[in-house]
Structure 1
Amino acid sequence: MTYDVTLLILLAAALHAGWNALIKVNGDRVAVMAVVTLAGSILSLFALPFIDSPDPASWPLLALSILIHTGYHFFLPVAYDHGDLGQVYPVARGSAPILVTLGALIFAGEQVSQMALIGILCLAVGVMALTFDGGKVSKINPKAILFALLTGVCIASYTVVDGLGVRQAGSVLGFAVWLTIGNGLLTFLIALIWKRNEMLVVAKNNALTGIAGGAMQVGAYWIIVYALAFAPMGMVSGLREISVLFAALISTFLLKEGFGVWRFVSACLVTFGLIMSQNRN
């Protein structure tokens, strides 16, 4: 993985943690997610004149990815209804790299070195260690963990599907743009049936939040789709989970969800895992 791709993924990680914080703190979370993804779709429409359409060979994977992303858009806010950002986000993100590595091996034949595998495992353990920060293990809602794990399965699934799809698409940005248009509109339509009144409240009171969140969401995922086209899926997924450290900072200093020694344990594991996961020998 080149340094420029690494830096882009770190930027995507920061953007991802940012829009997740917006989902957590503003109004009905399903409604906020729907407004954010709709804003992302509208922003994506402006990019259409400047991109090439993805190759038809990639359309089945594009459609599958849209469905998986839509499931993710509902599992995540429901998880936040039952748990803190500092608990839900690490479980959802930390479970993904191992699943992605396995999926990439099975479906794409991607091999990783032993050192890189150790690094990915350290990243996963490090980010999930944040769940136990502040001695709050007994206070974790089982529903929060369940929906966070379902979110992690969605993350791993769409990462592998997107990695396969973008490599068939011919146009990296074409695949990414149509993906964010499709999943945003589908999420909006489902939420419109389920949360119509709540969405009207969010759109009225938090329009700027929706636009900002949509821009961060779209920017983060366009970067990741670009990285998946050129780098091993497991390495991209592992490095992206640095977003958990950004989320920990937001959880601690903005949401006031507590701070403890596990933050330092996690930081050490993630840093070590980051170094090792980039080892391809």
Structure 2
Amino acid sequence: MSSEIVLVVLFAAALNAGWNALVKVSGDRIATMAIVTFMGALVSLMALPFVELPDPASWPLLALAIALHTAYHFALPVAYNHGDLGQVYPISRGSAPLLVTLGAAAFAGEVLGIPSLFGVIFLSAGVMALAFDRKSGLRRRPHAVLLALLTGTCIAAYTLVDGLGARQAGSVLGFAVCLTIGDGLLTFLIALIWKAREMRSVVTTQLGSSALAGAMQVGSYWMIIWAMAYAPLGAVSALRETSVLFAALISTFILKEGFGVWRFVSAGMIACGIGLTRFKP
């Protein structure tokens, strides 16, 4: 990957960590996620007149991407209900790049070179190492692990579809804007069926932070989809998951949750992975 793409993806990862941190400190996670994605959809609606609509040939992939993103918006909060945030999030984010790399090889013919492949492995392992950053270690919660892996599968699936759709769309930003409008509205409508009261509470007490998180969410998605249109899907996916390290830094220096030994291990592995993904396949 070029230096420009690396910097864009790292900035997108930081934005992703930021909006996740805002969701983390909220109350009902599903209600908050619904409002955040809805606010993001409003941002995308404002951008819609300034982008070219995606080619109709990409619309089936666009529809599938919207469905997969929506599934992820519900899978992640459900996983949090069964496991700790600091363990579920790294497992789900860390497992996705390996699945994306396999999917990209199978469906897009993208086979990474040995250095880049090891870069993906180092990044994924470094991200998942954060799941051990607890004094008690990984607790015996098989449901939490399974749900985290299911969430990682959702992430891998939508990442692969996003990348293929953006390449087919003609307008990368047009595809990204339509995607964030669609998944934001669909998530909002589904959540409204059984979380209406909780969503009203979020609107009255957290509207400003939800709007900020929504803007950060769509901004991050736009950047990642742009990067996947021009760089290997597996490498971009792996580099994006440095968002978990950014989240760890936020929890350390803003939330004052400490910086355990596993975060040093994770940081070192992620740094090695970033360097290795710079090699072209």
Post-superposition offset of 1:258? 4.6
The amino acid across from 2:73 in the alignment is H
Aligned residue for 2:208? 208
The amino acid across from 1:124 in the alignment is S
Aligned-partner Cα distance in 2 for 1:266–1:61: 34
Aligned residue for 2:277? 277
Aligned-partner Cα distance in 1 for 2:241–2:138: 25
Q: Number of residue pairs matched? A: 281
In structure 2, the CA distance between the partners of 1:142 and 1:209, relative to structure 1 (3 Å rule), is farther
In structure 2, the CA distance between the partners of 1:42 and 1:140, relative to structure 1 (3 Å rule), is farther
The amino acid across from 1:217 in the alignment is Q
The amino acid across from 1:99 in the alignment is L
In structure 2, the CA distance between the partners of 1:243 and 1:56, relative to structure 1 (3 Å rule), is same
Aligned-partner Cα distance in 2 for 1:19–1:197: 22
Aligned-partner Cα distance in 1 for 2:138–2:246: 24
Aligned-partner Cα distance in 1 for 2:257–2:146: 20
Aligned residue for 1:37? 37
Q: Percent identity at matched positions?
A: 63
- Please give the TM-score of this superposition, normalised by the length of structure 2: 0.96
The amino acid across from 2:142 in the alignment is P
Aligned residue for 1:103? 103
Answer whether contact 2:2 2:278 (CA < 8 A) is retained. Answer: no
Aligned-partner Cα distance in 1 for 2:66–2:5: 24
In structure 2, the CA distance between the partners of 1:72 and 1:225, relative to structure 1 (3 Å rule), is same
Aligned residue for 1:181? 181
Segments of 5+ residues of structure 1 without an aligned counterpart are none
Answer whether contact 2:93 2:244 (CA < 8 A) is retained. Answer: yes
Answer whether contact 2:9 2:236 (CA < 8 A) is retained. Answer: yes
Alignment of 1:89-168 (within 5 A): 89-139=89-139, 141-168=141-168
Answer whether contact 2:91 2:128 (CA < 8 A) is retained. Answer: yes
Matched, 1:228 2:228: yes
Alignment of 1:21-100 (within 5 A): 21-100=21-100
Answer whether contact 1:21 1:85 (CA < 8 A) is retained. Answer: no
The amino acid across from 1:193 in the alignment is I
Answer whether contact 1:86 1:251 (CA < 8 A) is retained. Answer: no
Aligned-partner Cα distance in 1 for 2:73–2:140: 22
Aligned-partner Cα distance in 1 for 2:181–2:33: 14
Answer whether contact 1:86 1:247 (CA < 8 A) is retained. Answer: no
The amino acid across from 2:217 in the alignment is Q
In structure 2, the CA distance between the partners of 1:75 and 1:258, relative to structure 1 (3 Å rule), is farther
Per the alignment, in what secondary structure is the counterpart of residue 145 of structure 2? helix
Aligned-partner Cα distance in 1 for 2:117–2:86: 25
Aligned-partner Cα distance in 2 for 1:229–1:197: 40
Answer whether contact 2:131 2:138 (CA < 8 A) is retained. Answer: no
Answer whether contact 1:85 1:251 (CA < 8 A) is retained. Answer: no
Q: Deviations over 1:79-133 (max 9, x none)?
A: 2333333222211110011000000000000011011111111111111011011
Aligned-partner Cα distance in 2 for 1:215–1:228: 20
In structure 2, the CA distance between the partners of 1:157 and 1:173, relative to structure 1 (3 Å rule), is same
**Larger mean Cα displacement after TM superposition, 224-233 or 138-147:** 138-147
Post-superposition offset of 1:138? 4.5
Answer whether contact 1:86 1:257 (CA < 8 A) is retained. Answer: no
Post-superposition offset of 1:257? 4.4
Aligned-partner Cα distance in 1 for 2:77–2:250: 17
Aligned-partner Cα distance in 1 for 2:234–2:42: 30
Alignment of 1:11-26 (within 5 A): 11-26=11-26
**Larger mean Cα displacement after TM superposition, 118-127 or 75-84:** 75-84
Post-superposition offset of 1:139? 3.5
- Quote the RMSD (CA, aligned, Å): 1.4
Per the alignment, in what secondary structure is the counterpart of residue 135 of structure 1? coil
- Please give the TM-score of this superposition, normalised by the length of structure 1: 0.96
The amino acid across from 1:198 in the alignment is E
Aligned-partner Cα distance in 2 for 1:7–1:104: 22
Per the alignment, in what secondary structure is the counterpart of residue 81 of structure 2? helix
